[in-house]
Structure 1
């Protein structure tokens, strides 16, 4: 079995020091359809690259490929939902949010349609450049009223979200982890909508992260111990509804805060954390790690993720540089 996680079309990133699972989304979707029998999965000609073929093979009468037309994907899904089905959609995040934004807002969220959009290639998980990198999707989706927005970390959480999504009222947007997805959490982990989860007790640094950046932050915590820095991680799997109270409580328990997201630093996790801390009257030194406000070039994933600071090693380096810059200068 390959030890590389599949990202874009044929793109592979080596998984080190962790087990992995293939196609956890399909596992969750099949599990919930086995229980309910009312799940349909639709894709916009990306079944192979969004890992829905296992579901198609198990439930061929519940599978639809609408072709390369995201607007049609969303409107057909909305129609099926009003006919009593729970519609799971898959495509790439850049296509779902940019091409079908109005359809998700009006045909789905405005009409309280039971549509669950699972969007692949979030942030810098593809090297295909600005046309394929969904780097602003969380900001766009959380701005839609009545929209639920989820950014899972690993295979465990991805499968659980896919299984639970049918029970979430209304329209859901979830970033899709596909291919060979690392297993970061253990089997005791339980995804809870709107609830952030803390890992560790360190108080020197408190990482607040979402999506695959939680994996990076957990690894950075281990590396920082060698420098005498004790840190903990708060994983924010749900962007909307947002656990503002949990974020404030966590920030109050640590000396400094670091936000980390696979998304531009506008309108995503960092913006939500800043707002939550302001509203709670919590003032902490804060470092923000994420994608800059620009379209990202094409390139290999190791190169891009390293350049833009999204690897575990670069997270640790940025924290150390920040702490060094903030350290008081001894009087001479």
Structure 2
């Protein structure tokens, strides 16, 4: 495991592509359902190389999830792929009633999550999906930080019997984990030790949190970074331990500040170990389309804003 942010970058989509093809070839029960976005999510590799396992469902996400539900009742393992915005909002009724309530073995992968969706427009952004999915009983909610963890999370989901939502991003991110990394459901991963404050991050914000921590170290601030790939179930023990060891918490996510990781961590702290806390996420506002760096700055989730949050919470200790 690396404590210094790697300069090597890979896309989550590339890792997804290779992994889903392998799973579809190794397991006769695995089928890919595509919401007409296969070239964007890169599951078109299955259409090209294992076409009998690829089901094109068109731009009809509600129907796609109903089909996934039906396939799961026959013992198959459907994997549904579309953008996070469409899974979490357009098809949520079908997911709740036909998948989550009966606790069916359906895997849902939401690509293009968060702010940075490649200039596809604000209708294709998803800042609410973690909040929505974590309220559903029986639902597992995962947000990997890099391409290595994508593969590990998908392998876990393949073995897990029940509904799983996996949140992925579009662009390339630094490789944080080595190939021998093992994902554990409901477990956080300490990427960096520190004594003054703990940043608890998930998904894409973990690499930005590491970047912020490295900047702060040069200023004499000792920052621990805890990555939370499993948002539901949540590693409450790791949160309490962080609160006890550093006495101050910053959460970081490329998601609305309402209902996501920050809310989940705050719920744990207020019940178990109240300490000063600052949340980094998109405030109560709608986003817009634009270049990545401009978006990170405008919506206050860049590594600079994570670092500023650390300094803010330290003043509350």
TM-score (norm 2): 0.92
1:71 aligned to 2:58? no
**Aligned counterparts, 1:282-297, within 5 A:** 282-297=273-288
Superposed CA deviations along residues 271-317 of structure 1, whole A, max 9, x for unmatched, are 1111111221x122111100111111222221111112222233223
Q: Which of the numbers 17, 21, 26 marks the counterpart of 2:7?
A: 17
Q: Which of the numbers 147, 150, 154 marks the counterpart of 1:155?
A: 147
RMSD over aligned Cα, in angstroms? 1.9
Q: Which residue is 1:275 aligned to? A: 267
Superposed CA deviations along residues 26-85 of structure 1, whole A, max 9, x for unmatched, are 222233334322211111100001110222223110001111000011011111111221
Q: Which of the numbers 187, 191, 194 marks the counterpart of 1:199?
A: 191
What SS does the corresponding residue of 2:47 show, helix, strand or coil? helix
Q: Which of the numbers 94, 100, 112 marks the counterpart of 1:121?
A: 112
1:27 aligned to 2:14? no
Superposed CA deviations along residues 138-170 of structure 1, whole A, max 9, x for unmatched, are 111111111111111110111111222122221
State the aligned residue count: 311
1:233 aligned to 2:240? no
The worse-fitting range, judged by mean Cα deviation, of 244-253 and 69-78 is 244-253
Superposed CA deviations along residues 97-138 of structure 1, whole A, max 9, x for unmatched, are 111001001111112221111001211122444311110111
Give the drift of 1:179.
5.7
Q: Which residue is 1:7 aligned to? A: none
Return 5+ residue gaps in structure 2 as ranges: none
Q: Which of the numbers 183, 187, 205 marks the counterpart of 2:179?
A: 187
Q: Which of the numbers 209, 214, 229 marks the counterpart of 1:222?
A: 214
What SS does the corresponding residue of 1:163 show, helix, strand or coil? helix
1:210 aligned to 2:195? no
What SS does the corresponding residue of 1:261 show, helix, strand or coil? strand
**Aligned counterparts, 1:132-171, within 5 A:** 132-171=124-163
For the 8 Å contact 2:280–2:306, the answer to whether it is kept is yes
For the 8 Å contact 1:23–1:179, the answer to whether it is kept is no
Runs of 4+ in 1 over 6 A off after TM superposition: none
TM-score (norm 1): 0.88
Q: Following the alignment from structure 1 to structure 2, what is the Cα–Cα distance between the partners of residues 179 and 294?
A: 23
Give the drift of 1:320.
3.3
Give the drift of 1:321.
5.1
